[in-house]
Structure 1
Amino acid sequence: MDLKEHIRAIPDFPSAGILFYDISPLLAHPGAWQATVDRLATIVEEHKPDVLAGIESRGFLVAAPLALKLNLGFVMVRKQGKLPGATIPYTYDLEYGSDTIEIQADAVEPGQKVFLLDDLLATGGTMNAAARLLRSAGAEVTGAACIIELTFLKGRDHLDMPIRTLLPYDS
């Protein structure tokens, strides 16, 4: 099955000059979504993680069904202020400013193998920050995967872990 047939390109979203790759049609098609989850499961299994971490918010859509399918736990990497209880924050630089992501303080145990998931790899900034956050909590990040990769942004060049993606886009 060609999963690209289920990705919708939306020009000028969220701002002029941006071509947004929308996974909504993929999620709405049971066969395409099942194929996506199955392909990602094969990638994840190679790394033998203890837990999966999804990056807010579409990464949750990817990681949660995979965790269920693979009988693994699921950890949310969220924007600051969105998780209850004690948290571990990580602040990272953006092109114009900074952002902070966090996990709950008890989300991972030292030495636990964590595999990161998101829907899209662009510049790699958030994926890199999520890996650093998890490592700061004592986890071992074994790798990452995304459905879509915007290869022209060279995000994988900024990552220090293995990354696999299903659908590369060159523009």
Structure 2
Amino acid sequence: MDSSERSLGKIDPFQTDLNIDIDSLSVTGHVVFAGRDGQVKVQTGGDVAQHTNQTVTVGGVETTPQELDMMIQCIRDVERTINKERQLPAESRETAMHDLQTVEAQLTTSKRPNPRILIRAAKSLLRFSPALTAAALTLFDQPLVGAILASAGEVAINFHEAISRHRPSKKI
């Protein structure tokens, strides 16, 4: 593109990302930069306070690292329950662990989860023992898990509503 095209405002549609180095910038209000959400406040006298909130995307939902850590901790609690549950035969323990790994993979993907795979594995976790059911219900009662299920579609929403009441619906 020559200088006459640039001066006429013609833009190359195949142009790659634009990087600009700025020595100083004057901004106030809500700002999003480098994938992080932030507030920039400027007080009289030029003092600058910067507050940023890092976000991550899991299950197609934007959240904070702290909420993600809480969800992962609940998943680890379910895993510990499976390993401690001595009433479960080895084959059932292996199946429960596989179901938990499937649930974890669906919940922690950056994309929207597959509702059929997620709900099948989640329902399976609820059938092994009372202790495992309680641990799984605690996981599915997490606000982040509810948001991920809501993003997955109506079937997942109905499942979440049923387990949030801590009583399965007739169709589960």
TM-score of the pair, normalised by structure 1: 0.31
Query: More strand by proportion, 1 or 2?
Result: 1
Larger Cα-atom Rg: 2
